[in-house]
Structure 1
Amino acid sequence: MQKKQLIECHQRITPFIHRTPVLTSHLLNKIAGVEVFFKCENFQRMGAYKMRGATNAILQLTKEQKGKGVVTHSSGNFAQALSLAAKSLGVKAYIVMPSSAPRVKKEAVKEYGGYIIECAPTLQARQAMAKKIEDEKGATFIHPSNDLDVIAGQGTACMELLQEHPDFDIVVVPVGGGGLIAGTALAAHYFGDDCTVIGAEPFEVDDAYRSLKSGKIESNDTTNTIADGLKTELGDNTFPLIQKYVEGIVRVGEDEIIAAMKLVWERMKIIIEPSSAVAFAAVLREKELFKNKKVGIIISGGNVDLKNLPF
């Protein structure tokens, strides 16, 4: 993917997204021992960065494709993003969601006009149901993370971050399916000044960490993490970009994720979801790695079930 494609993508989606704020906290900087700036995609439309990629992907479709609708499978944030992006553009969205998806996210999908089709909480069940709808309805499948148009859209968050602060040494992002980190890494490569990208991942779902070590896409045997947005695995489009442009991945424990989430809630007075807290938890864990650096963190989203908080 070329620099020009990212610039065109940003121009394309700008009328349909929010330019989210960049916040910092003297107290959190002191606790982390490093200067940290948060790109707050929890303030994005539908509450997460995924609005960017979903909008770009739909805008790239033909008139005929738009007429037949789009379909995806998602545990939450991309489900909401595709639903809202489709509604904004007058397109029907079919959303395959696992029965275990957070209630708050299912309700949001319905509010945004998405048609929910529930399935068993396995990747295989999600893929099979999405394929069935694709075949029956003629809808275009848009992958939550492994679609190149989605990856480009996700990269625009880091583009905006670097427009405001061109001198970042490191940008840290959570890793699930890899769409955000792949797009971020491309943006840092093209628009940063010697800016490296580091991923953050729970120990419980450390497939990306192991994939970089082994050189092939690895899977997770279990998905026992509070970071529900990071349970997905890398794809054949995201993994090569991560291999080429990402410096490394820091793994964190569940207690560290909860502590980082609570710290941001208490000290910055903003709502972030556990998946977002993983990136800040990585900075708190590996203080020596980030020492004397200017660090950007993509706060990926703020969609939480307030009746089911971990603290």
Structure 2
Amino acid sequence: MTQQRMPTREGVLEAAAKIAEIVPPTPLLPIEIHGVKCWVKAEMLQPVGAFKIRGAWWRLVNLTKEEQSRGVVAVSSGNHAQGVAWAARRLGISATIVMPRNAPRVKLDTTRALGAKVVLYERPGEDRDEVAARLIGDTGATLVHAFADPWVIEGQGSAGIEAEAQLGRTPSRFIVCCGGGGLTAGLSLACPESAIHLVEPVGWDMVGQALATGEIVRVADVPPKTICDALQPDATKPLNLAILKDRVEPGVTVTDDEVLAAQRFAFAKLRLVAEPGGAAALAAALAGKVPVDEGTVIMMTGGNVDPQAYAATIAEA
């Protein structure tokens, strides 16, 4: 059982080496925020447009032959879906992805184009984990959890190993877009001497609240709207909480307006297309909600935007 195994830094290092065999490093780009030079890790330039390819690949290559033959099931609003679908197609594994019906069309279409079967659910209204559990019960497939799988966490942490090598020293801090806490946990293992600042949308700070209280916190029954579709898990998981407890800085939240400003900044200053959830960390830095220095690495985690919505965002610049 994956829950019986704790991810390790040694696992992150192994994942980084394996991932380097199939995808090139994403750029570490210099930017200036409030007169201070810092760095952006451009994960939207991955083959699937997001960092999720890292954890998906490391998880799937660690499946046994028997597990591979039964296929995999994942739950995702789009980026993890595409990462799993990409890895599954490359490895010849059947993949079924449970996705919200209101996920951005570009993410639904790309997941299907990569060869995965997509099963839709209503968000809010249906429990996506229950939908996935029924599929697993019917097929015997392996669940590839988006953020609470030890191999997925190790794979995401490979971004930290890569950034450290590119920077030529240990980053002073990472500022991280946070959904369920998989990338945040992976970076905390990868770079144990770096400060870790997690950033979530207002009203969806399930990881931040869990760390503050020491207990799993679920989103409100009527959750607030956010444009950060990639950062909307109902709650974090005990595995992530165990890794992050006493390790990360207090979480911060960002508003939709702050995220939109970050998307426009990324386009104007870096020529990067960032989806809302992928720009949350940059939004926090620009808004002065987290400190930056010359050793700061800001994780920009995805660029799978809805074209019409993104065009409207940029037009407001």
Give the conservation status (yes or no) of the 8 Å contact 1:18–1:45: no
Q: What is the correspondence of 1:103-114 to structure 2 with a 5 Å cutoff?
A: 103-114=105-116
Which residue matches 1:279? 281
Deviates more, 1:203-212 or 1:126-135: 203-212
Q: Find out whether 1:98 has 2:100 as its counterpart.
A: yes
Which residue matches 1:22? 28
Partners of 2:137 and 2:284 in 1: how far apart?
42
What stretches of structure 1 of length at least 5 have no aligned partner?
none
What stretches of structure 2 of length at least 5 have no aligned partner?
1-6
Deviation at 1:164, TM superposition (A): 1.4
Amino acid paired to 2:212: K
Deviation at 1:302, TM superposition (A): 0.6
Give the conservation status (yes or no) of the 8 Å contact 1:32–1:283: no
Deviates more, 1:148-157 or 1:257-266: 257-266
**Does the residue aligned with 2:253 lie in a helix, a strand or coil?**
strand
Which residue matches 1:302? 303
Give the conservation status (yes or no) of the 8 Å contact 2:56–2:84: yes
Q: TM-score, normalised by structure 2?
A: 0.91
Deviation at 1:124, TM superposition (A): 4.9
Q: 1:34 to 1:248 in 2, by over 3 A?
A: farther
Give the conservation status (yes or no) of the 8 Å contact 1:84–1:112: yes
Partners of 1:259 and 1:177 in 2: how far apart?
24
Q: TM-score, normalised by structure 1?
A: 0.93
Give the conservation status (yes or no) of the 8 Å contact 1:170–1:293: no
Give the conservation status (yes or no) of the 8 Å contact 2:262–2:280: yes
Which residue matches 1:208? 207
Give the conservation status (yes or no) of the 8 Å contact 2:282–2:299: no
Give the conservation status (yes or no) of the 8 Å contact 2:170–2:191: no
Which residue matches 1:183? 186
Q: What is the correspondence of 1:1-311 to structure 2 with a 5 Å cutoff?
A: 1-25=7-31, 29=32, 31-122=33-124, 124-165=126-167, 166-189=169-192, 194-221=193-220, 222-232=223-233, 233-286=235-288, 289-290=290-291, 292-309=293-310, 311=313
**Does the residue aligned with 2:245 lie in a helix, a strand or coil?**
helix
**Does the residue aligned with 2:238 lie in a helix, a strand or coil?**
coil
Partners of 2:232 and 2:224 in 1: how far apart?
6
Render the CA deviation track for 1:206-257: whole Å, top value 9, x for unaligned.
Answer: 2222212111111211041111111012111111111132122122211111
Q: 1:230 to 1:111 in 2, by over 3 A?
A: same
Deviates more, 1:51-60 or 1:211-220: 211-220
* Alignment coverage as a number of residue pairs: 302
Render the CA deviation track for 1:245-287: whole Å, top value 9, x for unaligned.
Answer: 2122122211111111111112211111111211011112226
Deviation at 1:17, TM superposition (A): 2.6
Deviation at 1:188, TM superposition (A): 1.4
Partners of 1:291 and 1:33 in 2: how far apart?
10
Q: 1:20 to 1:144 in 2, by over 3 A?
A: same
Partners of 1:242 and 1:308 in 2: how far apart?
34
Spell out structure 1 runs of 4+ moving beyond 3 A: none
Q: 1:206 to 1:50 in 2, by over 3 A?
A: same
Deviation at 1:33, TM superposition (A): 3.2
Which residue matches 2:4? none
**Does the residue aligned with 2:309 lie in a helix, a strand or coil?**
coil
Give the conservation status (yes or no) of the 8 Å contact 2:212–2:250: no
Partners of 2:88 and 2:292 in 1: how far apart?
43
Amino acid paired to 1:199: L
Render the CA deviation track for 1:107-154: whole Å, top value 9, x for unaligned.
Answer: 000111110111122485311111111111121111111100000000
Percent identity (aligned): 33
Partners of 2:137 and 2:210 in 1: how far apart?
32
